[in-house]
Amino acid sequence: MNKIILIIKREYLSRVKKKSFIIMTLLAPLLMAAMLIIPFWMMSKGDDTEKDIAVVEEGTSLFTGVIPDTKTMRFHYLEDASMEDLKTTFPDLGYYGVLYISPKQALVPGSVEFWCKQQPPLEVTMHISNALEKEIERLKLETYNISNLDEILASVETNIQIQTFKISGSGEVKKSNTGITMGIAYISGFLIYMFTFMFGAQVMRGVIEEKTSRIVEVIISSVKPFQLMLGKIVGIALVGLTQFVSWVVLTGVIVFIAQNIFLPDNMMEQIQSGQSIMSAVPAAAQASSPMPMNEAQRFIESIYSVEWGLIILTFIAYFMGGYLLYASLFAIVGSAVDNETDTQQFMLPITIPMILGLFVMLNAFQNPNSSIAFWFSLIPFTSPIVMMARIPFGVPVWELTTSLLLLVITFILTTWMAGKIYRTGILMYGKKVSYKELWKWLRYKN
């Protein structure tokens, strides 16, 4: 036992001390946090350079004063200006761009053109087209001579945003967001795939390294081959866990800090108060919520509502299960070959179920309860990847436990098998090994 701990320690430390590991561990959370933070920041901040925009109407002045100024856009309505001249001189006059509205036909402008030095952002063109559309609609309605038009318009204006709620068996209500849930499902499924492959392959490379450097026989004169294999597998599992946990913690810390720096305070307060109202009186309160939330706020709110604890826990469980299963298979491959180029022929049975799992996962995060997703989330070779894509949508407990139980039984079986093959394989040099040979090794006694 003591010796296994020594082996685990060596396997763990020799990898954790590597520069590539440290860089990966620090860099990935920065990227992930950036992925989470930047969209909100952009939404809340936007482009804050001030733009003066000249508006030129040909012949009429129907739209004068129609487009409201915003924080970053100011509209100047020029009369008697020649469009032809402005086209070339507007930058010198200090304008960001020129909006040209050509003569109207039955209230609809023949064309609306925006002249600018660079591609104008969507924000600018959307703002202009919205304002113009509204004004034209208003003008058109006016021709019907309806009295109290403004009142009627105000009263019919509606804006629908669908909010989804998950209700669990116990009647607990959770606000959810399909987009976010899908995103998390996809990311965690893919992460499991990546982790299993990455760290499984490390086991294989470790075994090959010990074989090619010819140290393996020195080691197994002190420890049993099975102990060496197990120590390596567990050591590398701990490396994977270290990486995952530090990613989660670092991402959390970075997001927390970034939120306080980049996001306006009132937005955070709103989100938090929105949360508390939500949990108290789910549906009714929302309708009378004093301030309608904007996209960014709703987004952040749904991120808060995700069951991170459950997802992280199941991720660790499935990573361990899936990794242990595949790592033992990778160990078999490593023990059967002399160098990495010979691994090809044995990789197929490992990569096929993994890639199959990945494909089913791509379907499952859109249809988490389809029968294909159900079955593949029970089959041990694909369950880690597929189940992770289903968990954010909510999975019945019995499915989760059955799937985990099957996974545990299978990895015990593959580890036992790997131990038998590994023991013989690591002492074989310069021999082309076939599947038949592996089968023979499996049946050797002792």
Partner 1 sequence: MDILKARNIVKQFSNHLALDKVSIHVPENTIYGLLGPNGAGKTTLLRIINQITAPDEGEIIFKNRKLKAEDVFDIGYLPEERGLYKKMTVGEQAMYLAQLKGMKRSEAVKKLRYWFEKFEIQPWWNKKVEELSKGMQQKLQFIVTILHEPSLLIFDEPFSGFDPINARILKQEIQDLKKKGATIIFSTHDMGSVEELCDHITLINRSRTLLEGPIDKVREEYRTNRFEVIFEGSPNLLDFTLSSQYKIIENIPVNGTQRLLIEIVDGISTNEIISSLLTKGKILSFNEKLPSMNDIFIQVVEEENKKTGRKSN
Summarize as ranges the residues that interact with partner 1 (CB under 8 A). 3, 6-7, 10, 14, 209-210, 213-215, 217-225, 427, 429, 440, 445-446
Query: What is the nearest approach in angstroms of partner 1 to the Cβ of residue 22?
Result: 15
Q: Are the beta carbons of 421 and 335 closer than 8 angstroms?
A: yes
Q: How far apart are CA 440 and CA 428, in angstroms?
A: 13
Q: Buried (b) or exposed (e) across 375-386, using 16+ Cβ within 10 A?
A: ebbbbbbbbbbb
Query: What is the nearest approach in angstroms of partner 1 to the Cβ of residue 414?
Result: 23
Q: Nearer Cβ to partner 1, position 49 or 221?
A: 221
Q: How far apart are CA 386 and CA 318, in angstroms?
A: 10
Residues in contact with 319: Cβ distance below 8 Å, sequence separation at least 6, in sequence order? 192, 195, 196, 240, 241, 244, 384
Q: Copy the structure tokens of residue 291.
A: 């301030």
Q: Nearer Cβ to partner 1, position 235 or 380?
A: 235
Q: Nearer Cβ to partner 1, position 213 or 288?
A: 213
Distances (CA, A) of 68 to 75, 142, 168, 218, 280: 8, 20, 46, 81, 39
Alpha-helical runs (H) found in 221-264: 225-262
Query: What is the nearest approach in angstroms of partner 1 to the Cβ of residue 25?
Result: 19
Query: What is the nearest approach in angstroms of partner 1 to the Cβ of residue 200?
Result: 20
Query: What is the nearest approach in angstroms of partner 1 to the Cβ of residue 419?
Result: 14
**Which of 406, 373, 371 has its CA nearest to residue 387?**
373
Tell me the pairing of strands 97-101 and 73-78.
Answer: unpaired
Query: What is the nearest approach in angstroms of partner 1 to the Cβ of residue 126?
Result: 57
Identity of the amino acid at 250: L
Sheet-wide strand order for 112-116: 73-78, 51-57, 97-101, 112-116
Query: What is the nearest approach in angstroms of partner 1 to the Cβ of residue 442?
Result: 12
Which residues on adjacent β-strands are paired with residue 165?
Answer: 175
Q: Nearer Cβ to partner 1, position 5 or 194?
A: 5
Q: How far apart are CA 353 and CA 359, in angstroms?
A: 10
Q: Nearer Cβ to partner 1, position 211 or 390?
A: 211
Query: What is the nearest approach in angstroms of partner 1 to the Cβ of residue 223?
Result: 6
Q: Nearer Cβ to partner 1, position 140 or 440?
A: 440
Q: How far apart are CA 309 and CA 314, in angstroms?
A: 9
Q: Copy the structure tokens of residue 351.
A: 């990569």
Query: What is the nearest approach in angstroms of partner 1 to the Cβ of residue 226?
Result: 12
Q: Are the beta carbons of 127 and 73 closer than 8 angstroms?
A: yes
Q: Nearer Cβ to partner 1, position 173 or 218?
A: 218
Q: Copy the structure tokens of residue 280.
A: 């108290």
Residue 429: how many CB atoms within 10 A of its CB? Answer: 10
Q: Nearer Cβ to partner 1, position 127 or 211?
A: 211
Query: What is the nearest approach in angstroms of partner 1 to the Cβ of residue 439?
Result: 11
Q: Nearer Cβ to partner 1, position 236 or 311?
A: 236
Q: Nearer Cβ to partner 1, position 140 or 224?
A: 224
